[in-house]
């Protein structure tokens, strides 16, 4: 292995990341589906030729996708090896979540890049397709008890065989979607992204040489591992524990525990999830690959300076029971994986807060509130609106949490209401921050949001897959919990809420009736009584908190005109501290 000078390494790192970024941008510009085109629910990366390990990821795609794609690429390597090997011009496609992670909506394309007859690396693309069959339009089926009720399951198969396009495979995919045109557009966007990535990668190899690129990729991975070991070695040794709960699995209204015992010893981190609940009947199970990828995302949030590649996990060991909630196999349903991995990230944040308070952040809002509306237009054409929604991020030592952010599992953005209203027969009658939804603390959790949606078409069926309806996002280090998630829907006899709080299928609404989502904020950080009264006054003035919450949660005294009495506030806080 040759020595790579730091300047060359930095240049190549930037060039490689640019390749992944260009693949992201190509798909975002060409996809038919707003969840990819607007929300950026997709990702691209460069992967190791032998192991499938993540080498480089784009900055715009979803980190959770990049993490699980290492398992997806390894699945392709294994399948191709069993069938006689890989060929130049091959492209593999599949959505099997048990070997590639996440759920059936996420289709993966994997392409080997050859040099002198040998695989140099893999390029991979993953995107959330609009509809892939199953019982529920949009595929978030909270009542699923097996994966067959969630959509079509495609194992790794060749989409291109030695450069020859297999239209029969595309015919099968299209026949199993309610929206085949959307599927076709997204698929071709991913193909184009990989084609561009191959062109850019080969140009870079021609410019610098295969050996220099190979050594640089190895060096980047090695440096990430060294930096992660240094971060772990800086933490106090010992074991800390954290646990949190999912509301239910959509089938039985009982909580499900996700527990982490995190040990630091001899420069290594052990993440032990064996106290977590066993596999459940409903679709909040996840595969082992998804669990490990979620931990990768959580650690990257905490140790942001460490380069984003497989080296992050080299000094980390995992203990995950087989057939637990966090390691299931087919045909257990996994369609609601987003809710479970957000709870996983929450327990990692809670555990790290006990070891490195200054680096820690409180849990975010913890649910994407996957909402599907489906019906027929006046001309008989089918329409399916699928979208996810935002909430508040957790507070941290450096400041308040972000108001109305996207989920910390990803960089996906919340689809703009203008796009949703133009594409589907709905009107948003409210899209606003939700007062008092952030957890109180020395620094306050970010605010959730209120979304109210009116149906403009004759009728529609509604499906919701959410969480945090019973177990609020927790505060850390003395901070308070955020508000609970709340969903209501209008019927002729008034407003209703789901019997399972956060999950429901088959809600039938008619023109003019409305749905309302009130999403959680993030947890608070530190004792709320230590929050600067001026910051509380600013929150009051902006409408982030109500006067009642200012007194109740932050122990401030208000004057008759609603301003803060600093002298009485100081006396009140001293009295409460003494008590």
Q: What is the pLDDT of residues 178-191, one digit of tens each?
A: 999 999 999 999 99
The residue ranking higher by pLDDT, 1 or 271, is: 271
Q: pLDDT tens-digit profile of 160-212?
A: 999 999 999 999 999 999 999 999 999 999 999 999 999 999 999 999 999 99
**Residue 307, pLDDT score:** 84
pLDDT in tens, 516-543: 999 999 999 999 999 999 999 999 999 9
In whole angstroms, how far apart are CA 312 and each of 216, 276, 291, 298, 508? 16, 24, 15, 11, 47
pLDDT of the residue at 60: 80
Cis peptide before 331 (omega within 30 of 0): yes
Residue-level pLDDT at 332:
97
Euclidean distance between CA atoms 449 and 460, whole angstroms: 24
Mean pLDDT, to the nearest integer, of 356-366?
A: 93
Closest CA to 130 of 147, 111, 107, 108: 107
Instruction: Please determine, for residue 284, whether its predicted confidence score (pLDDT) is greater than 90.
Output: yes
Share of the chain above pLDDT 90, in %: 89
pLDDT by residue (tens digit) across 119-169? 999 999 999 999 999 999 999 999 999 999 999 999 999 999 999 999 999
- Binned at pLDDT 50, 70 and 90, residue 386 comes out as very high
Instruction: Quote the pLDDT of residue 513.
Output: 98
Residue 407 confidence (pLDDT):
86
SS3 (DSSP) at 301: helix
Mean pLDDT for all residues in the chain: 95
Better-scored residue on pLDDT, 39 or 254: 254
CA distances from 227 to 369, 479, 506 (A): 36, 30, 50
What is the per-residue pLDDT for 14? 95
Ranking 38-47, 52-61, 85-94 by mean pLDDT, the lowest is 52-61
CB 499 within 8 A of CB 506: no
pLDDT band at 494 (very low <50, low <70, confident <90, very high): very high
Q: What is the mean pLDDT of residues 363-390?
A: 95
- pLDDT tens-digit profile of 545-559? 999 999 999 999 999
User: Across the strands, what pairs with 43?
Assistant: 126
The SS3 assignment for 231 reads: helix
Distance between CA atoms of 472 and 149, rounded to whole angstroms?
A: 29
* Cβ-Cβ contacts under 8 Å for 252 (sequence gap 6 or more): 280, 281, 282
DSSP 340-364: HHHHHHHHHHHHHHHH-TTT-B---
Mean pLDDT (whole number) for 442-455: 98
Instruction: Evaluate if residue 313 carries a pLDDT over 90.
Output: yes
Cα 34 to Cα 110, 170, 303, 337, 566: the distances in Å are 23, 21, 32, 20, 49
| 82 pLDDT higher than 90 | yes
The pLDDT assigned to 169 comes to: 97
- Over residues 28-35, the mean pLDDT reads 94
CA-to-CA distance for 315 and 317, rounded, in angstroms? 7
Which residues touch 232 (CB under 8 Å, ≥6 apart)?
264, 267, 268, 269, 315, 316
- What is the percentage of the chain residues whose pLDDT exceeds 70? 99
* pLDDT for position 2: 63
Tell me if residue 37 falls in helix, strand or coil: helix
Asked whether the predicted pLDDT for residue 411 surpasses 80, the reply is no
Surface-to-core class of residue 103, CB atoms within 10 Å of its CB (0-12 exposed, 13-18 middle, 19+ buried)? buried
pLDDT at residue 308 in the model: 82
Does the structure show a pLDDT above 90 at 216?
Answer: yes
Distance of CA 7 to the CA centre of its chain: 34
Distance of alpha carbon 152 from alpha carbon 150, whole angstroms:
7
Burial of 127 (0-12, 13-18, 19+ CB in 10 A): buried
- pLDDT, residue 1, reads 57
pLDDT at 293 over 70: yes
| Band of pLDDT at residue 435, cut at 50, 70 and 90 | very high
């Amino acid at each position: 292995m040759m020595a790579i000078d730091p300047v060359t390494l930095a240049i190549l790192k930037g060039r490689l990341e640019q390749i992944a970024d260009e693949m992201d941008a190509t798909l975002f510009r060409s996809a038919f589906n707003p969840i990819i085109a607007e929300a950026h629910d997709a990702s691209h990366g460069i992967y190791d030729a032998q192991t499938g390990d993540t080498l480089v990821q784009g900055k715009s795609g979803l980190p959770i996708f990049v993490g699980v794609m290492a398992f997806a690429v390894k699945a392709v390597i294994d399948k191709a090896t069993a069938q006689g090997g890989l060929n130049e011009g091959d492209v593999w496609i599949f959505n099997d979540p048990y070997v590639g992670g996440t759920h059936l909506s996420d289709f993966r394309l994997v392409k080997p890049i050859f040099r002198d007859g040998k695989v140099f690396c893999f390029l991979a693309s993953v995107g959330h397709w609009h509809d892939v069959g199953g019982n529920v339009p949009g595929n978030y089926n909270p009542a699923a008890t097996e994966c067959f009720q969630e959509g079509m399951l495609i194992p790794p198969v060749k989409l291109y065989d030695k450069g020859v396009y297999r239209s029969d495979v595309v015919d099968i995919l299209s026949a199993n979607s309610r929206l085949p045109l959307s599927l076709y557009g997204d698929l071709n966007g991913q193909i184009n992204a990989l084609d561009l990535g191959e062109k850019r990668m080969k140009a870079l190899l021609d410019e610098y040489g295969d050996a220099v690129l190979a050594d640089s990729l190895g060096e980047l991975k090695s440096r990430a591992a060294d930096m992660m070991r240094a971060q772990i070695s800086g933490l106090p040794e010992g074991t800390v524990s954290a646990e949190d709960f999912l509301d239910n699995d959509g089938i039985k209204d009982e909580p499900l525990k996700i527990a982490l015992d995190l040990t630091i010893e001899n420069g290594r981190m052990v993440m032990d999830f064996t106290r977590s609940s066993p596999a459940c009947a409903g679709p909040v199970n996840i595969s082992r690959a998804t669990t490990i990828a979620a931990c990768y995302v959580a650690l990257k949030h905490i140790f942001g300076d460490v380069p984003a590649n497989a080296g992050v996990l080299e000094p980390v060991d995992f203990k995950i029971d087989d057939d637990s909630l966090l390691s299931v196999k087919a045909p257990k349903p996994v369609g609601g994986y987003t809710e479970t991995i957000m709870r996983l990230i929450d327990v990692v944040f809670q555990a790290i807060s006990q070891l490195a308070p200054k680096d820690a952040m409180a849990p975010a809002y913890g649910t994407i509130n996957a909402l599907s509306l489906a019906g027929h237009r006046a001309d008989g054409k089918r329409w399916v609106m699928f979208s996810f929604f935002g909430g508040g991020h957790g507070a941290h030592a450096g400041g308040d949490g972000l108001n109305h952010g996207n989920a910390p599992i990803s960089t996906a953005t919340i689809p703009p209401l203008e796009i949703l209203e133009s594409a589907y027969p709905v009107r948003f009658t409210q899209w606003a921050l939700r007062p008092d939804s952030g957890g109180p603390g020395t620094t306050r959790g970010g605010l959730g949001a209120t979304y109210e949606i009116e149906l403009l078409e004759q009728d529609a069926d509604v499906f919701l897959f959410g969480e945090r309806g019973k177990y609020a996002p927790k505060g850390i280090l003395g901070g308070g919990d955020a508000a609970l998630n709340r969903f209501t829907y209008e019927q002729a006899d008034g407003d209703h809420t789901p019997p399972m709080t956060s999950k429901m299928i088959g809600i039938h609404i008619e023109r003019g009736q409305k749905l309302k989502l009130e999403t959680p904020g993030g947890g608070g950080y530190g004792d709320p009584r230590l929050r600067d009264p001026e910051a509380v006054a600013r929150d009051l003035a902006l409408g982030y908190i109500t006067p009642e919450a200012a007194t109740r949660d932050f122990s401030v005294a208000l004057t008759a005109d609603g301003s803060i009495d600093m002298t009485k506030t100081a006396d009140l806080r001293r009295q409460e501290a003494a008590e």
